Amino acid sequence: MHPPILLFDFDGVILTQRGLEYTALLQLRKKFYNWQNTEKMRLIDFTLLFERSDSSSRLKSLLRIYRVYSFFIPRIWKRTLFFLRFNRDYRRFEKIYDTLKPGLEAVLIKLREKGIPLAIISNTEKRRLKYFKHKLQLKKYFSFFITRDDVPINKPHPYPLLIALKKIKQEFNFKSIEKSNVYFIGDLPTDVKCAKSAGVNSIALLSGHGTEKSLTRSNPTFILEDIKDLLNLECFKKLLLE
């Protein structure tokens, strides 16, 4: 049997979200938008709103803006303006503030030392991931990177995950892929859904975008408080002791 295969989501799992949260904080302070229904929302919830609206297609982005932000910004033209400003500012701030999640690098080093194949599967755009791949030297740890621009269907559809497994099988010359020995770690219920649809183990990370309540309801294989807890899972702990 091949060693465990570990697949990662990107935002909230690999990358901190300080730039997005800072951008959200600045925008929420602007009374110009006439914000509504924001009292119970976390800053990270606003990053999710942005991600749901973002698309490589400008038309799709605009249509999503009208729908997603309608509950919070009454005027349509102000929703569009908000999205454009948010998109501009967060791309600037994330290059300043965002880094690897605390404790992640030590985990990646230990996994790579044991020859565990690692890959990133994200719905972000290829250009953005390429920037952080270079800045954070991610190629030292990860064999493959799958973005929304690399596949015709994005998560939560299992297709991106299955493509990553196909590439890993070829690269590492595995005769077959034992899905019971594959793990996908994400921070949203949609990541759990993706893993389940692909027939692999799901690991829900509580230190990312998702809430404990929503992730627990998604019924993942494992739930972790922090990325450092990954090495305490029996499958990886046993391998590290060998």
- State the CATH number of the domain containing residue 167: 3.40.50.1000
Task: Give the pLDDT of residue 42.
Answer: 82
So what's the pLDDT on residue 44? Answer: 80
Contacts of residue 150, Cβ cutoff 8 Å, sequence gap at least 6: 126, 160, 163
Where does a domain end: 97, 123, 152?
97
All residue ranges of the chain with pLDDT < 50 are none
pLDDT for position 15: 96
**Number of independent structural domains in the chain:** 2
The predicted-structure confidence for 71-81, as pLDDT tens digits, reads as follows: 999 998 998 89
In this prediction, residue 240 carries a pLDDT of: 76
CA angle, residues 209, 26, 87, in degrees to nearest 5: 65
Domain holding 93, by residue range, is: 18-97
Question: Which of these three, 63, 97, 131, is where a domain ends?
Answer: 97
Position 66 scores a pLDDT of 82
Looking at the fold, whether 140 and 223 belong to one and the same domain comes out as: yes
Q: Please answer whether residues 6 and 185 qualify as being in contact, where contact means their C-beta atoms are separated by less than 8 angstroms.
A: yes
